[in-house]
Amino acid sequence: MSSVASPQRVLSGMRPTGRLHLGHYHGVLKNWVTLQHEYDCYFFVADWHALTTHYDDPSQLEASTMDMVVDWLAAGVNPKAATLFVQSAMPEHAELHLLLSMMTPLGWLERVPTYKDQQEKLKEKDLATYGFLGYPLLQAADILLYRAGLVPVGADQVSHVELTREVARRFNHLFGREPGFEQAVEAAVVKMGKKASKVYIDLRKRYQETGDAAALETAQALVRDQQNITLGDKERLLGSIEGSGKIILPEPQALLTPAAKMPGLDGQKMSKSYGNTIALREAPDDVDAKIRKMPTDPARIRRTDAGNPDVCPVWQLHEVYSDEQRKQWVQEGCRSAGIGCLECKKPVIDAINAELVPMRQRGREFEQAPDMLRSVLAEGAERARETAANTLADVRQALGLAYRR
Ligand code: TRP
Ligand code: SF4
């Protein structure tokens, strides 16, 4: 049993969309690559989530999943540092989803803003399904199954993490009160030893009477630092400070990913639906051709016309890829007609191609060795299963289902 909250565990999922592009890299993957060195990271392909909206065409599911994982690896997500897996390889997500569904009020799901938004946006699809309503609850199960403390998501997903917190709170409230909880807490207090137990009782009292947040934090740290008590007792002591029962499912926190500023080839945000993307493993010649074809300041018709970078999508790429000196070169050269547009595009082409070199190479290695890719995912699932099994054992126990096996 190990349900002490893990602030050091990070979990995030991505629906399988096939090949990723530079927008994904600058928006999400670069962040994952940093996080994997700082936290115990779990990254997974949310293929069941894809089915909630695309159940009518599963034909591309496998290819999209594999292409996307190759792109994760190409971008530098390291299977030795992070645990990578596919959601559908982990039926544990489905079991926890089912169990949570028993106690989740319908109204909570109907009120999640993405529910109506997505139905509006994807009008051509029939999303009046049970599965689609349950989308955020499946996501809650994804998160709670690993007792993740931090969930990197975009702003559009924050309401799902919020729902996850409510579901966890409700679950702990309903099932965290094992019979004899108070006595078990008192016994655990004694086990801390005289000095620590006195400090614990004082801090708990101070927090409960005045809501003193510092007292709460100090008390939690005190409990976590105890060497001689079991994890189960730690959970009871932690739960007792806040006046709840045992924390079986700790509440996660959203780790807001800053909105991607990556501009596409037309100056709009880079997105597959706008057809303005550069793929992570795009060939050098294609990068070259795509940038050459990019529109520039429409008023700059002849080479001798002065231009205005403010209305030019190429300038936006300079803002991502160029240092101050080169930005100044663009500003002055453009406004004075001192440089031509192709000349201006050249350093952008070079910068993007340089960024893609290691990605193409790593991507190729995995593409040429599908077995290696499968074993990365199999090992990831195996590691994930260990954590998941612990949580599910506690959840089954809490729900009176421990006789199951
Ligand atoms: N719903 C998320 C998205 O569309 C993907 C996702 C599924 C997820 N499960 C998750 C993200 C758990 C974070 C945590 O982007
Ligand atoms: Fe755009 Fe550069 Fe041409 Fe100016 S010189 S219009 S910034 S491409």
Which CATH number does the domain housing residue 390 bear? 3.40.50.620
CA 403 to chain centre: 34
pLDDT of residue 360: 97
Residue 342 lies in a domain: yes
Q: Which residues of the chain have pLDDT under 70?
A: 1-7, 404-405
* Same domain for 236 and 106: no
| Torsion angles phi and psi, residue 149, rounded to 5 | -90, -30
State the Cα–Cα distance between residues 246 and 3, nearest whole angstrom.
9
pLDDT of residue 245: 75
Ligand 2 pocket member 329 (CB < 6 A): no
pLDDT of residue 208: 84
State the Cα–Cα distance between residues 317 and 300, nearest whole angstrom.
18
* Same domain for 168 and 202: no
**Whole-prediction pTM:** 0.86
Give the CATH number, domain containing residue 310. 1.10.240.10
Residue 265 lies in a domain: no
* Same domain for 315 and 202: no
* Same domain for 313 and 169: no
Residue 198 lies in a domain: yes
pLDDT of residue 182: 86
Ligand 1 pocket member 395 (CB < 6 A): no
Which atom of ligand 2 is nearest to 300's Cα?
6
Expressed as residue numbers, the domain containing 31 is: 9-176+370-398
- Which residues carry out catalysis? 121, 195, 198
pLDDT of residue 242: 82
* Same domain for 384 and 349: no
- CA of 15 relative to ligand 1 center, distance in Å: 7
* Same domain for 160 and 101: yes
Pocket test for ligand 2, best of 303, 308, 314, 335 (most atoms within 8 A of CB): 314
Pairing of strands 6-14, 40-45: parallel
Which atom of ligand 1 is nearest to 49's Cα?
7
Residue 49 lies in a domain: yes
Residue 211 lies in a domain: yes
* Same domain for 113 and 41: yes
Q: Which ligand is nearest to the CA of 47?
A: 1
- CA of 11 relative to ligand 1 center, distance in Å: 9
Residue 249 lies in a domain: no
Pairing of strands 83-86, 148-153: unpaired
* Same domain for 210 and 127: no
- CA of 44 relative to ligand 1 center, distance in Å: 9
* Same domain for 209 and 98: no
Residue 28 near residue 269 (C-beta atoms within 8 A): no
* Same domain for 356 and 380: no
pLDDT of residue 176: 84
* Same domain for 94 and 120: yes
pLDDT of residue 1: 33
Where does a domain end: 193, 226, 241?
241
Domain count, the chain: 3
Residue 248 lies in a domain: no
DSSP state string for 254-316:
EEEPPPP--B-TTSSBP-GGGT---BTT--HHHHHHHHHT----TT--STTS---GGG-HHHH
Residue 377 lies in a domain: yes
* Same domain for 232 and 291: no
Q: Which ligand is nearest to the CA of 151?
A: 1
Which atom of ligand 1 is nearest to 135's Cα?
1
pLDDT of residue 2: 39
pLDDT of residue 224: 93
pLDDT of residue 405: 57
